[in-house]
Amino acid sequence: MSIQWFPGHMAKARRQIQEKLKLVDVVIELLDARLPMSSRNPVIDEVVQDKPRVIVLNKSDLADPGITRAWVDRFQSEDRQAVPVDALNGKGISQLARLTQEAVQDKMDRRKKKGIAGRAVRTMILGIPNVGKSSLINRMAGRKVARTGDRPAVTRHQQWVKIGKQLELLDTPGILWPKFEDKMVGLRLAASGAIKDEIIDLEEVALYLAAYLKFHYADAVKQRFKIDEIPDSPVELLELIGTKRGCLRSGGVIDYEKTAEILLREFRSGKIGAISLERPDDPFHYEDFAPETPEPPR
C-alpha cells in the first residue's frame, strides 16, 4: 500500500527515523534492484549522515542480473557496499548479514580494545513504501515479525530481533517518502508498482514502459506477446499488444486501459522477463520517443 505524503508526514517520518538511528550502528538502505536511483529517497544522505550503511538491491529476482551486477560495481566504485537480495526467497540474506557486520567491524574492535564488553551489531532497515522492507525483516528474522504494508502513523513498541549471534535488527523499518518531482522518476516508480494505480495514469505509464521495453528488451517483448516486428511508436506497440490479447471494445476499438493493465501486470510479475528499468549510463532517453507520442484515443 502506498502512502500519500504531505510535508507533515515527511517531517514526522524524518523525526521517527532520526530517533531510531540513535539506536543503531549501521543502516540497511533498501532499494528496488530494477530502479535503484528512482527508488532512493532524495534526503536519505541528510537523514543518515555518516552512519555506516549497506545498500540492498531488493527484488533482484525481477531485475536484469547483468544490470544488477553493473549497479553493484557502480556503488562499489563510489566506496559503497551493495548486495542483491530476493527477500521472498531468501537469496542474498547471508551475504547481507555478513556485509552489515563488516561495515562496523572496526568500531566493534576498537570498543573491545578499550575493554567495552562486546555486544551484537544493531541495524535497521530504511526504504520507501513497497520496496520490501517488511518482507526483508521477516526473512532475516526467519519468522513473521513485521507486517507487510505501511502505516507510518501507527506507533507501537519496537523490538530487537536476533539474527544469528552477532546481529540485531529493529523489527519496525524506517519509512521514507519517494520523490515524484522528476517525471521520469515518477514513471519508473509507477511502472514498478510503488505508487497506487488509482492515483496514476495507467496508459501514460504503459506508454513509457512500451518505449523502454522496445529499446532494451525487444526480444523479450516479441516472445511474450508473440510479435514478429515491434512497431515504431509506443502507441502502436500498445495497440498491437491489445490486439494480441483481445483487448477490444465494441466496434473493434482497442481498449487502452485494459491493455495498459496487462502490460504493467505482466512486467511487475516478471512474466516478460527479468527486466531493469534503470541502468548506469543509460542510452535510453524517453524524450526521444515521447514528444511524437499522440494521446491515445478515448
| Angle (CA) 81 84 179, round 5° | 80
Please give the grid coordinates belonging to residue 282: 543509460
65 lies in the site for ligand G4P, by CB under 6 A: no
Tell which one of 17, 62, 99, 211 touches ligand G4P (CB under 6 A): 62
In the complex, minimum distance from the CB of residue 272 to ligand G4P, in angstroms, rounded to a whole number: 14
Name the residue whose CB lies closest to ligand G4P: 132
135 lies in the site for ligand G4P, by CB under 6 A: yes
Residue 286 CA to residue 184 CA, distance in Å, equals 8
Tell which one of 20, 51, 120, 150 touches ligand G4P (CB under 6 A): 150
Longest CA–CA separation in the chain, Å: 81
- Closer CB to ligand G4P, residue 129 or residue 242? 129
132 lies in the site for ligand G4P, by CB under 6 A: yes
Residue 103 CA to residue 77 CA, distance in Å, equals 16
What residues numbered 82-111 form the site for ligand G4P, per CB under 6 A? 86-88
What residues numbered 165-204 form the site for ligand G4P, per CB under 6 A? 193
Please give the grid coordinates belonging to residue 90: 531468501
- Closer CB to ligand G4P, residue 107 or residue 151? 151
Tell which one of 59, 179, 224, 279 touches ligand G4P (CB under 6 A): 59
What residues numbered 211-230 form the site for ligand G4P, per CB under 6 A? none
76-85: which pairs have CB atoms within 8 A and are 24 or more residues apart?
80/53, 80/55, 81/54, 81/55, 82/54, 82/55, 82/56, 82/57, 83/54, 83/55, 83/56, 83/57, 84/33, 84/57, 84/60, 85/33, 85/56, 85/57, 85/58, 85/60, 85/136
Tell which one of 13, 131, 191, 202 touches ligand G4P (CB under 6 A): 131
Strands 160-163, 167-170: pairing kind: antiparallel
- Do 127 and 175 form a contact (C-beta atoms < 8 A)? yes
- Closer CB to ligand G4P, residue 127 or residue 296? 127
Per rule CB under 6 A, count of chain residues that contact ligand G4P: 19
Tell which one of 40, 133, 179, 224 touches ligand G4P (CB under 6 A): 133
User: Which residues of the chain form contacts with ligand G4P (CB under 6 A)?
Assistant: 58-59, 61-62, 86-88, 127, 129-135, 148-150, 193
